[in-house]
Amino acid sequence: MAVKMPQLLDMCFSADVVPVMELMRQELGFRPTDARRVLRRAPQVLLPRQDGSTPVDTIAALQALGLKPKMVSMEVIRWPRLLTYSPASLMELATWLGSAEVGMRAASDDSSAVSLNVLRQAPWLAEHDLETQLRPVARYLQESLGIRDMQRVLRAYPQILCCSITKDLEPRVWFLTEEVGINEEDVPRVVQTFPLLFAVPVERMRGVYGLLASELLITRPDITKIVRAFPSLLGLEPEKHVRAVVAYMRSLGIQNIGRFVSRLPPVLGYDVSNNLMPKMDYLVAMMGLSVYDVLTFPAYFSYPLESIIEPRTEFLKLRRRPIAVVGLNMALTSGDADFAKKIAKVRPELYASFKAAYMKHRAEVQAGTMKGEDLLEMLGLDMLGGKPLGSLGGLSTSSNVQEVTSARQLADDEVAAKFGPDGSAQQQDGERDAQGG
């Protein structure tokens, strides 16, 4: 610290350092280790300020802005240099963020609450000059780009106010309009949808664009539409994300990957091991479907496995309405209530009860307190002719998972009361439900 700030050598430990540490103990509730950590990261806290203010004044200003004492302590731990900011600079920044000039207004028109959230998220904004840095960037975003929802942009990426207009913002806007083909009038919507665009290196975005165009053979107009609707795709790492998904699709035998991606652009950001592969395994092993069905309905990959795909598939099995007959799109696209009434032909409460029980015991399988086979038996399902399940949407069925002795009893208590012994819904319920009663 002394090398970077030689003026610290002239300070008296007992007269200058101890009082600051005592202040942090009394005002912020810091332990000695916390205080030392703050001083190591921001030794300038010890130095006198030109405006004559002290850390005590800074703490008082933060509390006056609405930060509770505990929040102040947390913010100082996270960003120790916060204690070095003058009360005047903090007040000026908070006032500006909440002004009509920036547009940071809450639904209740409480501008102070909104500006406080930004200040908590990005306290280092106070280090930048309002007139030469923050205000010019805000004007560029609003007047040159046409951004209207500054609140959304700043909440997602407050660092944008610290960017250079010529070095950071303009090159990315040029890439969007000149290389990707986004119309100028669409730029505000793209930025508001994905403010982090301004944190993504242009070369990375250019790599994603090049892969879509040269490797997947997606036309420029189609790429323009994709980026306009899903700008976050430009933030993907081509090698880590995009190529991994493309390689997996090829392993499935998908020939025209470009067309598949055009129909479901977000698929490029899905994790292969934790998302695509478990869903595909489940589709083949438990639904009895193939990659052809996914080609027909690419949106299958966009639905959650645990809360949508699995419960509905297993429920339809109990209803003797296999998803292969119903169709993926019919089974997945509607909400739970419509699925129950129109597809499964039961009361929504019945499916809701089944889903709750299924997800509860699915969690037990994942925690290792129940076998995947027991979950299926408990819900009245067979074992596919005695064949091993292998994987149940990522649920382990290996011998090292302990079995819960109450599995059979759970079946009687939570499911058998609503389903017949053969796993199908009781006939009377089915008839009444079909009639809406």
pLDDT tens for each residue of 9-64 = 455 556 566 677 777 888 888 888 888 888 888 888 777 777 888 888 888 888 88
In a domain, 340, yes or no: yes
pTM over 0.75: no
Domain with 102, as residue range(s), is 1-127
Q: How many CB atoms lie within 10 A of CB 52?
A: 8
Is 397's pLDDT higher than 70?
no
| Domain-located, residue 256 | no
Q: Which pLDDT score is estimated for 434?
A: 36
Q: Is the pLDDT of residue 360 over 60?
A: yes
What is the widest separation between alpha-carbon atoms in the chain? Answer: 90
CB within 8 Å of 33: residues ≥ 6 apart: none
Contact 331, 313 (CB under 8 A): yes
Together in a domain, 142 and 108:
no
Instruction: Report yes or no: 255 and 292 within 8 Å, Cβ to Cβ.
Output: no
Note whether 19 and 136 are same-domain residues: no
Task: Retrieve residue 136's tokens.
Answer: 């010019």
What is d(CA 100, CA 347) in angstroms, rounded to the nearest whole number? Answer: 51
Q: How many residues does the chain have?
A: 437
Residues 330 and 404 in one domain: yes
Domains in the chain, number = 3
Chain segment 129-141, per-residue pLDDT in tens: 999 999 999 999 9
Q: Residue 191 carries which side chain, given as an amino acid letter? A: V
Q: What is the C-alpha separation between 57 and 166, in angstroms, rounded?
A: 37
Average the pLDDT over each of 46-50, 91-95, 293-297, 375-379 and give the range with the smallest value.
375-379
Q: Is residue 165 part of a domain?
A: yes
Q: Does 140 lie in the same domain as 107?
A: no
DSSP 8-state assignment for residue 419: B
10 Å CB burial of residue 269 (0-12, 13-18, 19+) is middle
The verdict on residue 273 lying in a domain is no
Please check whether residue 87 lies inside any domain of the structure.
Answer: yes
CA angle 272, 276, 280 (to 5 degrees): 135
Token pair belonging to 358: 């299924």
Q: What is the number of helices (H) and of strands (E) in the chain?
A: 24, 2
Predicted confidence (pLDDT) per residue in 167-199, tens digit: 999 999 999 999 999 999 999 999 999 999 999
Residue linked to tokens 């309905």: 297
Residue 6 and residue 362: Cα distance in Å, rounded? 62
Query: Are 169 and 117 part of one and the same domain?
Result: no
Residue 291 lies in a domain: no
- Domain-embedded: residue 279: no
The answer on pLDDT for 315 being more than 70 is yes
**Cα angle, residue 39 at apex, residues 33 and 41 outer, rounded to 5°:** 105
Residues forming a β-bridge with 419: 425
